[in-house]
Amino acid sequence: MATINFDSELRRAGAKATGGWGRTVFLARRHVLGAIGLVIMTLFVLSAIFADLICRFDPLTVDSTHALAHPDARHWMGTDSFGRDVWARIIHGARISLAVGIGSTALGGTIGVIVGLTSGYLSGWVDLVFQRVTDVLQALPLLVLALVMTAALGPSLPNVIVAIAIPLVPVVARVIRANTLALREQPFIEAAKSIGMSEMRIALRHVLPNTLAPLIVLATAQLGSTILTEASLSFLGLGIPEPYPSWGRMLSESAAEYVRTAPWLVIFPGIAISLAVFGTNLFGDALRDILDPRQRG
């Protein structure tokens, strides 16, 4: 059966370009959807960073004289019932969505790595205890557990990050544990033990780096779900409180009352949420194909 030589194709594709740029061009051509997802994510990140320069209006400023204004040259996406510029609120809302997504993914991923690495490497009764705890957490869906956490902690940005991070812990822990169980039986681990290397040093220096590839793919895939979960919590009134702009909160305020009279209040936040989740999912799938050698053929 014919096989594809990845390195030779890469050299051929990068004949007119050198270094990392040639590899980037080749990967972008091979994973078109992933490149599109990366572009979407980059646009959201740049919009969040330069929100103050992009927007002409403050997202919190109330202007009752221009309430429910239609999209025009002054207000590109119209205004809401308080006269606040929808474009400014969506651009600044990207900051909150990315802060929640990245913060909760980083926090949940860090705790999950610690739990999964400890559980898989030490095994025995430690593995038994940790796995029973993760089973309890994983028994509840992400949104349901996040709802319980935010209801207990209260609506605020740090509490939302913690509430979404906790349900991610068992997902990350399962993946890291499975990779750790396979790695701890490899010959290089036995060689490290034979020369007297400590268990902690083996786990941190040899086992952990070899679990980073699946962890990166998982974190990228979970980023979209965390953004969607934050929007769902804000839609239900348990996410980011007013007056701070949140895409889910914008939908909650306008979906029932203004869906017919001012449809732009529903359309534009919905598009922002859809694009953010769509972009992260596309990039996550492409990243999995790139980092997984089994997907290269």
Q: Which CATH architecture has domain 36-295?
A: Orthogonal Bundle (1.10)
Token pair recorded at residue 57: 């209006």
> Domain-by-domain residue ranges, the chain?
36-295
User: Could you report the per-residue pLDDT of 240-297, keeping only the tens digit for each?
Assistant: 877 788 888 888 877 677 778 888 888 899 899 999 999 998 888 888 777 765 555 4
Residue 249's closest CA among 260, 236, 261, 259? Answer: 236
Overall average pLDDT of the 151-171 stretch: 86
Flag whether the pTM goes above 0.85. no
- What is the structure's pLDDT at 261? 84
Token pair recorded at residue 218: 């998982």
- What is the structure's pLDDT at 158? 87
Overall average pLDDT of the 146-167 stretch: 84
**What is the identity of the amino acid at 58?**
D
**Position 62 pLDDT exceeds 90:** no
3-class SS of residue 85: strand
In the chain, which residue ranges form alpha helices assigned H by DSSP?
6-13, 19-30, 32-49, 51-54, 86-122, 124-138, 142-153, 157-183, 187-194, 199-202, 212-235, 247-254, 264-291
